[in-house]
Amino acid sequence: MKAVALAGLAVIVLSAAAPSAQPSNPTTPSIEKPFAPGGRIQLKLHAADYKITGRSDGKIRVMWRSDRPDALAGVRADINVTGRTAVITTSGVKNSVSFTIDVPSRTDIEIDLTAGDLEVRGIEGSKRIESWAGDVSIDVGQPGQYRQVDASVRAGDISALPFKVSTGGLLRSFRWTGQGPYTLAVKLFAGDLTLR
């Protein structure tokens, strides 16, 4: 009888503890707008971590999240579309916020990021990217897609294996020319740049 009572007590205690043992679901606000492939997108991004991914649907979608809901207070994202040009802006970020931005996979992009880690993948088109601080990783696809590639890092490493470049230290840069239709220009003040 005592064993049954103890077993029952254990079930009650475990049941009561279970909700607090589960991690809280992070809040994920989002906005989206239709945007046809083949256009140009300017991204003016406040300091945070960003993952920008090309998708097959004709939409721009911006999502942001944090494991700390209080960090989302005041965070804003806007998408303004005019014809074949879109402007994405983020603001009000304090800390512990990360963004996921989906765009049509065939798009020219221009990114100005104040600071934070940036990953760009699955996007075919010309790319211009500037950032002050943080690691930048770009999926460049086939090198033959590009007419010209310019990359520079004031302090940090450059790893660009598709273009047979690997270098590190201060004031590092390289230029590559090809026969493709697109251009790639990356300027990073401090951090590591990876072109893969």
pTM, to two decimals: 0.83
Name which of 11-15, 150-154, 162-166 the model is least confident about: 11-15
Give the confidence band of 2 by pLDDT, cuts at 50, 70, 90.
very low
156-167 pLDDT, tens digit each:
999 999 999 999
Q: What pLDDT was estimated at residue 46?
A: 95
pLDDT of residue 149 exceeding 70, the answer is: yes
Q: What pLDDT was estimated at residue 68?
A: 80
23-70 pLDDT, tens digit each:
344 557 999 999 999 999 999 999 999 999 999 999 999 999 987 877
Q: What pLDDT was estimated at residue 160?
A: 96
CA distance 67 to 47: 17
CA distance 6 to 11: 9
73 — phi, psi (to 5°)? -65, 125
Rounded mean pLDDT of 166-189?
95
Q: What pLDDT was estimated at residue 27?
A: 58
H/E segment holding residue 12:
helix 2-21
Give the confidence band of 96 by pLDDT, cuts at 50, 70, 90.
confident
Q: What pLDDT was estimated at residue 25?
A: 45
Rounded alpha-carbon distances, angstroms, from residue 75 to 111, 132, 154: 19, 21, 30
Give me 128's structure tokens: 């211009």
CA distance 184 to 176: 10
Contacts of 174 (CB under 8 A, 6+ apart): 149, 150, 151, 158, 160, 163, 165, 167
Rounded alpha-carbon distances, angstroms, from residue 65 to 27, 75, 114, 147, 164: 6, 10, 19, 37, 36
Q: Position of tokens 């590009």?
A: 146
Task: Provide DSSP, 115-157.
Answer: SS-EEEES-BS-EEEEEEES-EEE----GGGEEEEEEEEEEEE
Residue 33 or residue 168, greater confidence? 33
Using alpha carbons only, how large is the chain's radius of gyration in Å?
22
Rounded mean pLDDT of 170-174?
93
Residue boundaries of the structural domains of the chain: 26-195
